[in-house]
Structure 1
């Protein structure tokens, strides 16, 4: 049942005094796409398990289809909000908190496109390979424009202060960074003349995303040194900092493995592909430890404040960034042919599943009890 409390005169009220679903839909924010980010990431994680069993691929496909259903539901719901409440789209993109979650819509797309590759290529014709290639280039262009445009807007309007800095400041650069991750998934099924350009674009985009993320790390550290840990409700968002090292590590390993040995530059320079694969592996190991350090900081901070926390949509940060972190462990283990590292990746995958299950149950309970999608409770607070 919906909560009976009347929270705002701005919310439509039913005949029994309850806030209606139409009223609650006003607070359906961009941050809801963290749900499909995490679910799609989990489906991708299931497709790369080093220790598989009969039926795992089917389970992964079911999770992927569930993610597609969720994505359609979220797009429909947020579109309904913008139609029912004219002007709310513009306000959402200008709001100092909610606007930072606009990139989560774009972050949901790589897991959908990558899932098409992982679960669909083997069962369809060449048309899907072409579709994936076109999707890659469209995604690359759109996310580059997003990274430029949103940061320019933030710089010009000066709506964010260092003392209020959260890792969500990294989110606008995250989608273009995942262009490299997407290239690492798609490139191996592409013909050589199309594969190399995708890899070059992926490396460039991954480099942009990683570099900007590292610069924002310094702002985050200054904020932590000067003002201490964020309030308990915001601490799960600290796991966002785990994402750039994890996704960069898996991207450079995946792209190096997809290099066409006998095409173009690589054909003219014997041994270049082998050297690049070795370089990618040890670079991935080098930066993985940065992600582990941030993981430990985020974990300790979250556990320390967990008794004072209530559910917010940034809890999904405990899943999505950690899926990339876990896949990077699996990829490193595969490259080094280390059973020990692969088992660590498998154990981490089980923990990811447990966390995904916990957060999705908490999410559903928060909607039922009115702790989110209510006036003053969401990322759009103050918008109306």
Structure 2
């Protein structure tokens, strides 16, 4: 019956029982798609050829040779929107990160700021479109809002919405707000405090829910577990960007809040690092398709470097901090921030090479939105490198930061092109192929 409906174009996968042939095909292809280390190529080939459909052998592959083991039923836009997940905000936060990186590049040239402005405006459009699509998903498909937040995989991507908001706040400060715009300065300060309150509630609430509703084994540890603490951590980064233009009466409270939030985020990230290393030691690297997610571990120490150095230099030059009846000069604070930043930068470098070598050993072949982890955390790493180079006034570090930034730009467009192609081919926005389906 279902086979006839598929041929007539009236069958909907969303109405198919979980044990149907449609989902069986998805699961059989999942081992091949996600690089199951226990499955041999021979087994994959025999499984693909055993499907009882009429697809010619030459139609089982894309033009570039990637396997195409069954003919996917064409879905309507409304049906595909059901699988439009929170992970789409990774596109927005990566675009915002690129705009910030362009603004901070050590070697500027005429027209570069215009390019950064284009990325900033593009991010506003992307964020608006993604938000509209998410709202349509929740309106057209009742119950998906609650289920998306509770889902054991998609739920961890909800914080990417707040990360996108963080990039919008910081890039707006860089490209729009001028020091003499008093009204806008107060507006951005209000937004900062609202963001800090919301992300703290997220960090507490989501982890409380995960602790009570899910039961994960160490072997299932993925870098996405860090995401709920990431937005509150970026409060420190936002503070380092906006504080220098704020009046002194509001600057110190912003810096104190940024410092405490940065410390909270980094501390929780360190606890997650312990689980991540334990998972890598006991189970090994994630499967091929999810290894780009390891780059998420680069982000926390990198953004901490950026936040500490930025906040230290946002302190007024005439500020003296009283510590045990002694006064700590602001220059001492800046020196301490640079020393701690050097420690944190080295940790980001270590995680970067762990992630890069893991991906190079077995490059992913099928697009996931998790590929954007190769962009956003690395923009933070590049920004941290630029900040350290500036403080040391080192030409070699400036050149290194520029080369790193160029590589991130290239990866951005490679991932963007792969995402567009995946949407066109129904590799994503399709049942069983998005973050609303637990495949690891």
Q: TM-score, normalised by structure 2?
A: 0.82
Q: State the SS of the aligned residue for 1:121.
A: coil
Q: Confirm whether residue 222 of structure 1 aligns to residue 278 of structure 2.
A: yes
Corresponding residue of 1:99: 155
Q: Which residue of the other structure, out of 360, 364, 383, is the alignment partner of 1:327?
A: 383
Q: Which residue of the other structure, out of 302, 309, 314, is the alignment partner of 2:370?
A: 314
Corresponding residue of 1:188: 244
Distance 1:261 1:382 in 2: 52
Distance 1:294 1:5 in 2: 49
Corresponding residue of 1:281: 338
Describe how 1:98-247 pairs up with structure 2 within 5 A. Answer: 98-122=154-178, 125-247=181-303
- Aligned 8 A contact 1:260 1:266 in 2: no
Q: Confirm whether residue 293 of structure 1 aligns to residue 350 of structure 2.
A: yes
Q: Confirm whether residue 10 of structure 1 aligns to residue 12 of structure 2.
A: no
- Aligned 8 A contact 1:180 1:202 in 2: yes
The Cα offsets for residues 232-289 of structure 1, whole Å up to 9 and x where unpaired, read as: 1110000000000100001000000001233574799755210000000011001111
Q: 1:236 to 1:222 in 2, by over 3 A?
A: same
Q: How far has the Cα of 1:110 moved from its partner?
A: 1.1
Structure 1 unaligned blocks of 5 or more: 12-16
Q: 1:9 to 1:36 in 2, by over 3 A?
A: closer
The Cα offsets for residues 79-131 of structure 1, whole Å up to 9 and x where unpaired, read as: 10001011100000000000000000000011101111100123972211111
The number of residues matched between the two structures is: 374
Corresponding residue of 2:45: none
Distance 1:118 1:24 in 2: 36
Q: State the SS of the aligned residue for 1:206.
A: helix
Q: 1:9 to 1:247 in 2, by over 3 A?
A: closer
- Aligned 8 A contact 2:87 2:157 in 1: yes
Distance 2:204 2:281 in 1: 29
Q: 1:173 to 1:110 in 2, by over 3 A?
A: same
Describe how 1:11-50 pairs up with structure 2 within 5 A. Answer: 18-50=74-106
CA RMSD in angstroms, aligned pairs only? 1.9
Q: How far has the Cα of 1:208 moved from its partner?
A: 0.4
More helix by share: 1
Corresponding residue of 2:419: 363
Q: How far has the Cα of 1:309 moved from its partner?
A: 2.8
Distance 2:14 2:368 in 1: 24
Q: How far has the Cα of 1:163 moved from its partner?
A: 1.0
- Aligned 8 A contact 1:42 1:323 in 2: yes
Q: State the SS of the aligned residue for 1:375.
A: coil
- Aligned 8 A contact 2:321 2:328 in 1: no
Deviates more, 1:310-319 or 1:286-295: 286-295
Larger Cα Rg: Structure 1 or Structure 2? 2
- Aligned 8 A contact 1:96 1:159 in 2: no
Q: How far has the Cα of 1:5 moved from its partner?
A: 11
Higher relative contact order (CA 8 A, sep 6+): 1
